[in-house]
């Protein structure tokens, strides 16, 4: 993903015309013509000047109208009068020029604004006032207008002059100096001098605060600084600065202030870059709504924010909505180009090119990329960041088209700038340099490509596996680096470096579930129960912070009290996290090193496989698909010429056909065969001869469909589903120190909550009446349809297991209070049979949740929804966790951690093996699959084979409607550590 400039610069953030702060050092000298005038005329002029002074001062002191046109209309007559007046006080003329130029700027008349300040500077300097605060204000604001006029070098010189004035006045370390430095840093970014920009921003931020009317400027500069930090790969600090930017704006400014709009948008940008798209959508949409309300649908802000939102939606997999929004943004930007970031039009063209590339329309994608390059060509250095990003995208497209020489030439257009200004671990540089190595590998220069790529992989590895990262920070960074680890694995395979490639694919498959699996395994290896409990509390607190950050986002638009309460809870949780970390450092001095995950070496992974077990690793890169198979005999792989965009299209088509299958639609066998033949090639099938259980290690879109329903070949009397040949499980990670088998025994079944009748009492499609799940309003939780078979499902599970220690929590007892109070860690098998909801299904639901019996009066501790972060706070010691609830393993966001959602919480809580659903499950089917899987496992079958046998029996069951359709028999996946 492109780490680009975070939207057009907030228009007033660097303008320092502080209303009411007159700064004349001494009175103006009286012009000679005035001294020689008749007394009566002099008196009349003096009276007029006094009146004009009062009106200018009143305009200067008054808060500007929120409407830019009204602001300009109110000042224009006064400015005409001031220009015509004889002997006007230079201080008055300077003050009026400052606010008049600002109004012109807000109306996107940048040249007029610059001319106005230039005129004021002439008048002011002729008066001989010397180094005053007012002079520095004029210089600083003129720098902004020069920047916006495409004259950044002149702007920097103007800022240096302003800084010299401030320094001579003794304010080199003060707030005004900080504002000048921040404005100078932004000018450096506009001409691509990133390293100078970062150094200057660091100096500026040490001096700036929100005091003395500087809140808008401070907020804006914090947001811009965040963008530069993101460029160089300091993603967590970038989010921290963006959050601070919004906090400053909301605390000190009215909602109609443009600084508030930009702070919302910039935070959305930073969160999206880390894959936190549910939150990002909230902030980005809020920014766009405010821009439309206060600047209109056709404005530079509305265009920029429309693009920002389209980018977030694109990453969420909502591509049609994203493209429509981006096309609209393009038209708006054409009509109202952002004055301070003229490369915005190139950025929008790049996003449109990405969308076309992703759906496989290579011709349109190339045309859009080239239109973006043409649009910013006149900008010179001011478009260098966007130009290099488009060159990298275009190079990947040319590689996919087979135009390798052109691809290499194109990416090398970007490399000199990236190598000069970006650190090795920054994503934009990694994207370009790893792509160059991949192209060289395709050209037959495998060893040279591997040599180039190895240093890049090392830079990513060091940062990803740092002991200093939290669980979430590591998962977010893995999302940033995933594509380049996959590219490196491809390069290593071509160079014959199988061991190195095996390490790389593990890092490419890293997700939050993988991190949690590592953490859980290490938790049980801690020296004593006290440290284990401390670490469990630390994990739960980290999950709580994540939930509270999401809830804070969902609190937008509610009362100030609600927002303040969410913020207070968040601060308390952060303080507790610091305390727990300190306690663990004291208990276990090498705690952070102990918690550091690492890939499993190839030979160890091979040695741990049973005689009938194999590991399957799918890897998708720009122009081809690799399927790696590890068996006890060794590692083999095969390559298929299907692009990343083709893989994504197959996955989306399959998901759509499964959704339509709920209402009788046909299953997409073409896509199932396309993916199946890329994975189960002749070479790989030979390697899998005699194998029964296949564990899948992967990440990305392909993991959104169960491999069981893929077709291994075409033809035949019945479809050749992969489930007929293999049992499947999903591995979050390969663990060097896997968690020991759970010592607990017994069965706990939770579900069948008291809800509505079997048929919903609110309007839903009739075909969904038997499905677990459905989008409803929070007030209608009680009206969710009851689950008549949930009770019998749990009772049958208990009977099938025949465990001596069994517990059923059903009906009105299946509530949050009871579940949280129960010692679930004493049970080896824990099953939930209820509705599952995804984040966003309810207006106030920010994360996935299981539906329990709602209380008469909802509280923070019991609202009828057991969320994923609350699940993570449970203490489990279970070999089996069965989530017989729709969407329990899925996540709405494309590209999110595979099998995230509720599954992630249960892994963190201590579940070893999870049976989860990837789409809504019919009530009778859920009962059959869950009960039969556990029954077959009790009879001695492996877990993957138990699920396989349950699925095959269901396919052949004549008593189950449409049982042979994948939407019926294939919703469950097994996640096994």
Closest CA to 623 of 398, 400, 396, 394: 400
pLDDT at 38: 54
Position 305 scores a pLDDT of 94
The dihedrals phi and psi of 553, each to the nearest 5 degrees, come to -65, -45
Q: What is the pLDDT of residues 775-834, one digit of tens each?
A: 334 456 777 778 888 888 899 888 878 888 899 999 999 999 999 999 999 999 999 988
Taking CA 306 as the corner, what is the angle to CA 302 and CA 311, rounded to the nearest 5 degrees? 155
Under the banding of pLDDT at 50, 70 and 90, the label for residue 442 is very high
C-alpha 705, offset from chain centre: 22
What does the radius of gyration of the chain's CA atoms come to, in whole angstroms? 31
Average pLDDT over residues 389-398: 98
Name the residue with tokens 């009851």: 786
Q: How far apart are CA 603 and CA 36, in angstroms?
A: 100
Q: What is the pLDDT of residues 866-888, one digit of tens each?
A: 888 788 888 888 888 998 765 45
CB 758 within 8 A of CB 771: no
Q: Are 130 and 168 in contact (CB under 8 A)?
A: no
Q: How confident is the model at residue 398 (pLDDT cuts 50, 70, 90)?
A: very high
pLDDT band (50, 70, 90) for residue 764: very low
Ranges of H-type helices in 849-901: 868-872
Answer yes or no: are the C-beta atoms of 884 and 831 closer than 8 Å. yes
Query: Can you state the percent helix, strand and coil of the chain, rounding each to 5?
Result: 60, 10, 35
Please give the Cα distance from 886 to 849 (Å, whole number): 10
* Three-class DSSP category at 617: strand
**Contact status, residue 957 vs residue 826, Cβ threshold 8 Å:** no
pLDDT at 415: 97
d(CA 751, CA 128): 83
- Please give the Cα distance from 47 to 41 (Å, whole number): 10
- Report the candidate in 518, 417, 421 with the shortest Cα–Cα distance to residue 465: 518
218 to 186, 214, 668: CA distances (angstroms): 13, 6, 54
- A 10 A CB-CB count for 560 gives 9
Three-state secondary structure of 317-329: CCHHHHHHHHHHH
Is residue 406 within 8 Å of residue 425, measured between CB atoms?
A: no
Cβ atoms within 10 Å of 817's Cβ, excluding its own: 14
Q: Are 309 and 284 in contact (CB under 8 A)?
A: yes
First to last CA, the chain: 30
Count CA atoms closer than 13 A to 465's CA, side-chain side: 17
- pLDDT given at position 757: 63
Residue 18 in tokens: 């502080």
Positive or negative, the CA dihedral 394, 400, 405, 408 is positive
DSSP 20: T
Q: Phi/psi at 357 (nearest 5 deg)?
A: -60, -45
Residue 615 — φ and ψ, nearest 5°?
-115, 130
User: What is the C-alpha separation between 900 and 703, in angstroms, rounded?
Assistant: 11
For 144-182, how does the pLDDT look when each residue is reduced to its tens digit (9 = 90+)? 888 888 788 888 999 899 899 888 888 888 888 888 899
- Where does the pLDDT of residue 771 fall: very low under 50, low under 70, confident under 90, or very high at 90 and above? very low
- Residue 586: pLDDT band (50, 70, 90) is confident
How far is Cα 358 from Cα 369, in angstroms, rounded to an integer?
Answer: 13
How far, rounded to the nearest angstrom, does the alpha carbon of residue 536 sit from its chain's CA centroid?
26
Least confident range from 534-543, 722-731, 951-960: namely 534-543
Element (H, E) at 867: strand 865-867
> When comparing pLDDT for 853 and 450, which is higher?
450
Contact between 495 and 449 (Cβ < 8 Å): yes
Q: Which residues on neighbouring strands pair with residue 883, listed in sequence order?
A: 832
In the structure, what pLDDT confidence band is assigned to residue 39 with cuts at 50, 70 and 90?
A: low
Q: How does pLDDT run across 322-367, given as a tens digit for each residue?
A: 999 999 999 999 999 887 788 999 999 999 999 999 989 999 999 9
Does the pLDDT at position 894 exceed 70? no
**Which residue would you say has higher pLDDT here, 407 or 788?**
407
Question: What is the four-CA torsion angle of 192, 196, 199, 201, rounded to 10 degrees?
Answer: -50
**Element housing 101 (H / E):** helix 90-106
Write the CB contacts of 761 (distance below 8 Å, at least 6 apart in sequence): 783
Mean pLDDT (whole number) for 658-686: 91
Go through 579-600 and write b for each residue having 16 or more CB atoms within 10 A of its CB, e for each that does not: ebbebbeeebeebeebbebebb
Instruction: Determine the Cα–Cα distance for residues 430 and 423; give it in Å rounded to an integer.
Output: 9
């Amino acid at each position: 993903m492109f780490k680009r400039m975070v939207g057009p610069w907030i228009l007033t953030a660097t303008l320092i015309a502080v209303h009411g702060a007159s700064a004349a050092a001494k009175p103006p000298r009286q012009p000679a013509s005035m001294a020689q005038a008749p007394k009566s005329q002099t008196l009349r002029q003096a009276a007029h000047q006094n009146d004009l002074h009062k009106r200018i001062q009143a305009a200067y002191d008054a808060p500007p109208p929120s409407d830019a046109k009204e602001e300009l209309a109110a000042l224009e007559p006064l400015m005409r009068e001031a220009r015509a007046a004889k002997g006007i006080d230079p201080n008055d003329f300077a003050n009026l020029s400052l606010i008049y130029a600002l109004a012109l700027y807000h109306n996107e008349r940048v040249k007029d604004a610059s001319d106005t300040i230039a005129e004021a500077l002439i008048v002011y300097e002729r008066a001989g006032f010397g180094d005053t605060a007012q002079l520095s204000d004029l210089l600083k604001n003129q720098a902004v207008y020069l920047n916006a006029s495409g004259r950044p070098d002149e702007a920097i010189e103007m800022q240096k002059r302003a800084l010299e004035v401030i320094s001579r006045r003794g304010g080199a370390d003060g707030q005004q100096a900080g504002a000048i430095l921040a404005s100078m840093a932004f000018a450096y970014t506009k001409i691509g001098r990133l390293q100078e920009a970062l150094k200057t921003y660091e100096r500026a931020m040490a001096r700036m605060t929100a005091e003395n009317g500087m809140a808008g400027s401070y907020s804006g500069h914090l947001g811009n600084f965040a963008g530069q930090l993101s460029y160089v790969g300091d993603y967590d600090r970038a989010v921290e600065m963006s959050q601070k930017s919004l906090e400053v704006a909301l605390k000190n400014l009215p909602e109609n202030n443009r600084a508030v709009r930009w702070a919302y948008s910039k935070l959305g940008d930073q969160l999206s870059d880390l894959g936190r798209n549910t939150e990002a959508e909230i902030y980005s949409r809020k920014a766009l709504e405010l821009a439309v309300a206060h600047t209109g649908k056709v404005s530079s802000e509305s265009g920029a924010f429309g693009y920002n939102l389209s980018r977030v939606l694109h990453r969420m997999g909502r591509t049609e909505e994203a493209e429509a929004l981006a096309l609209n943004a393009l038209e708006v930007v054409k009509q109202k180009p952002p004055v301070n970031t003229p490369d915005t039009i190139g950025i929008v063209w790049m996003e449109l090119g990405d969308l076309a590339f992703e759906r496989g329309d290579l011709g349109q994608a190339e045309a859009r990329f080239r239109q973006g390059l043409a649009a910013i060509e006149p900008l010179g250095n001011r478009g260098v960041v966007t130009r290099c990003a488009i060159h990298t995208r275009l190079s990947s497209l040319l590689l996919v088209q087979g135009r390798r020489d052109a691809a290499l030439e194109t990416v090398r257009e970007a490399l000199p700038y990236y190598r000069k200004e970006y650190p090795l671990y920054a994503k934009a540089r990694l994207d370009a340099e790893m792509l160059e190595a991949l192209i060289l590998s395709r050209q037959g220069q495998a060893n040279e490509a591997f040599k180039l790529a190895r240093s890049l992989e090392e830079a990513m590895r060091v940062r990803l596996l740092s002991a200093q990262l939290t669980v979430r920070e590591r998962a977010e960074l893995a999302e940033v680096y995933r594509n380049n680890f996959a590219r490196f694995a491809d390069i290593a395979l071509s160079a014959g470096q199988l061991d190195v490639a095996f390490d790389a694919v593990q890092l490419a498959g890293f997700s939050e579930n993988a991190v949690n699996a590592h953490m859980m395994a290490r938790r049980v290896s801690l020296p004593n129960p006290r440290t284990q409990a401390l670490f469990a509390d630390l994990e739960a607190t980290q999950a709580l912070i994540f939930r509270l950050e999401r809830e804070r986002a969902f609190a937008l638009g509610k009362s100030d009290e609600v927002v303040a309460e969410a913020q207070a809870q968040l601060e308390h949780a952060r303080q507790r996290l610091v305390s727990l970390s300190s306690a663990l450092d004291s208990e276990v001095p090498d705690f952070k090193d102990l918690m550091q995950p690492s890939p499993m070496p190839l030979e160890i992974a091979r040695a741990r496989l049973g005689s009938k077990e194999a590991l399957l690793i799918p890897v998708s890169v720009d122009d081809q698909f690799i399927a790696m198979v590890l068996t006890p005999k060794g590692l083999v792989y095969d390559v298929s010429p299907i692009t990343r965009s083709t893989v994504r299209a197959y996955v989306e088509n399959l998901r759509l056909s499964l959704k339509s299958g709920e209402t009788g639609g046909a299953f997409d066998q073409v896509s199932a065969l396309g993916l199946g033949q890329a994975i189960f090639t002749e070479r790989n099938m030979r390697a899998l001869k005699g194998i029964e259980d296949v564990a899948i290690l992967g990440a990305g879109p392909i993991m959104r469909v169960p491999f069981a329903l893929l077709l291994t070949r075409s033809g035949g009397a019945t479809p050749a589903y992969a489930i007929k040949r293999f049992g499947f499980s999903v591995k979050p990670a390969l663990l060097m120190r896997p968690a020991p088998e759970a010592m607990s025994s017994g069965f706990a079944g939770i579900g069948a909550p008291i809800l509505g009748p079997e048929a919903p009492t609110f309007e839903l499609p009739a075909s969904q009446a038997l499905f677990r799940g459905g989008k409803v309003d929070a007030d209608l939780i009680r009206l969710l349809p009851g689950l008549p078979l949930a009770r019998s499902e749990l009772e049958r599970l208990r009977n099938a297991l025949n465990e001596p220690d069994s517990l059923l929590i059903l009906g009105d007892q299946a509530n949050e209070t009871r579940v949280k109070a129960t010692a679930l860690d004493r049970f080896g098998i824990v099953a939930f049979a209820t509705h599952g909801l995804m984040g966003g299904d309810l207006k106030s639901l920010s994360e996935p949740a299981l539906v329990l019996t709602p209380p008469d009066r909802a509280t923070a501790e019991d609202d009828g929804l057991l969320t994923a972060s609350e699940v993570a706070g449970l203490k489990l010691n279970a070999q089996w966790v069965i989530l017989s609830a729709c969407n329990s393993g899925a996540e709405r966001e494309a590209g999110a951690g595979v099998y995230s959602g509720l599954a992630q919480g249960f892994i963190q809580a201590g579940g070893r093996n999870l049976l989860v659903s990837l789409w809504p499950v019919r009530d009778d089917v859920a009962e059959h699959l869950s009960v039969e899987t556990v029954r077959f496992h009790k009879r001695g079958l492996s877990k993957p084979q138990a699920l396989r046998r349950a699925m095959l029996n269901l396919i052949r069951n004549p008593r189950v409607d449409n049982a042979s359709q994948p939407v019926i028999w294939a919703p469950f996946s097994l996640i096994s550590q």
